[in-house]
Chains A and B, each alone.
Chain A
Amino acid sequence: MLFLHELREGIRIAFEAIRANKLRSVLTTVGVVIGIVSVTLMGTALEGMNRAFDESIESIGADVLYVQKFPWFTGGDDWWVYRNRPDIRMEHASALERYSVIPQAVSPAASAMAGISFRERSVEGVFISGTTHRYTELSGTDIMLGRFMTQAESESGRPVVVLGSEVAERLFGVENPIGQLVKIRNHSFRVIGVLDRQGSFLGLFSLDNRALIPINRFFRMYGQRRDISIEVKVGSIEMIEEAIEEIRGIMRRERRLEPWEDDNFAINQQEMLTNTFAGISMVIGGVGFFITGLALFVGGIGIMNITFVSVSERTKEIGIRKSLGAPGRSILMQFLMESAFICLLGGVLGVLIAYPLSLIIDQVIPTAMPVSIVIIALTISFLVGIISGFLPAYRASRMDPVEAIRHE
Chain B
Amino acid sequence: MSNIIKIRNISKEYNMGVEIVHALRDVSLDLDKNEYVAIMGPSGSGKSTLMNILGCLDTPTTGLYEFNGLNVGKMNDNELARIRNKEIGFVFQTFNLLARSDALHNVELPLIYAGVSSGERKKRAKEALEQVGLGDRITHKPNELSGGQRQRVAVARALVTRPSIILADEPTGNLDSKSGDEILGLFAELHDQGNTIIVVTHEEYVAEHSRRILRIKDGLVESDIRVDNSRIPNGVREELTS
Contact = CB atoms under 8 A, between A and B. Distances in A.
A396 B33 CA distance: 35
B98 A326 contact: no
A134 B138 CA distance: 88
A9 B77 contact: no
Nearest to A4: B115
Interface string B99-138: 0100000000110111111100000000000000000000
Contact of A327 (B81, B92, B118): B81
A6 interface: yes
Interface in A155-207: none
Residue from B58, B112, B115 whose CB has the most chain A CB atoms within 10 Å: B112
A405 B115 CA distance: 23
A328 interface: yes
Interface string B69-97: 00000000110011111100010100011
B84 A405 contact: no
Contacts of A16: 100
Nearest to B87: A325
A6 B84 contact: no
A6 B100 contact: no
B113 A330 contact: yes
Contacts of B171: none
Nearest to A2: B115
A324 B84 contact: yes
B46 interface: no
Given A6-B112, A325-B114, A401-B57, A320 B78 contact: no
A322 B110 CA distance: 10
Given A402-B52, A405-B96, A324 B115 contact: no
B100 A325 contact: no
B65 to A, nearest CB: 15
A10 to B, nearest CB: 10
B100 A20 contact: yes
A246 interface: no
B59 to A, nearest CB: 10
Contact of B98 (A5, A320, A402, A405): A320
A371 interface: no
A146 B58 CA distance: 95
A317 B112 contact: no
B109 A324 contact: yes
B55 interface: yes
B152 interface: no
Interface string B208-230: 00000000000000000000000
A316 interface: yes
A320 B57 contact: no
B157 interface: yes
Contact of B85 (A316, A325, A401): A325
Interface in A316-349: 316-317, 319-330
Contact of A323 (B82, B86, B96, B117): B96
B115 A323 contact: no
Contact of A325 (B82, B96, B118): B82
A1 interface: yes
A331 to B, nearest CB: 10
A325 B115 contact: no
A321 B157 CA distance: 12
A6 B113 contact: yes
Nearest to A331: B81
A326 B109 CA distance: 9
Contact of B77 (A1, A328, A405): A328
Contacts of A9: 112
A337 to B, nearest CB: 14
Contacts of B92: 405
Given A9-B112, A16-B100, A321-B109, A327 B57 contact: no
Contacts of A330: 113
A330 B82 CA distance: 12
Contact of B81 (A316, A319, A322): A322
A89 B215 CA distance: 114
A404 B166 CA distance: 21
Nearest to A20: B100
Contacts of A402: 52, 57-58
B52 A324 contact: no
A325 B98 contact: no
Nearest to A3: B115
A20 B118 CA distance: 24
Contacts of B161: 325
A324 B115 CA distance: 13
A323 B83 CA distance: 10
Given A330-B113, A402-B58, A325 B84 contact: yes
Given A6-B112, A323-B96, A329-B78, 13 more contacts: A5-B115, A6-B113, A316-B96, A321-B109, A322-B84, A323-B55, A324-B85, A324-B113, A325-B82, A325-B85, A325-B110, A326-B113, A405-B92
Q: Across chains A and B, which 6 residue pairs bring their CB atoms closest together, nearest first?
A: A325-B85, A2-B115, A327-B81, A325-B84, A324-B110, A325-B113
Interface of B: 52, 55, 57-58, 77-78, 81-86, 90, 92, 96-98, 100, 109-110, 112-118, 157, 161
Interface of A: 1-2, 5-6, 9, 16, 20, 316-317, 319-330, 401-402, 405
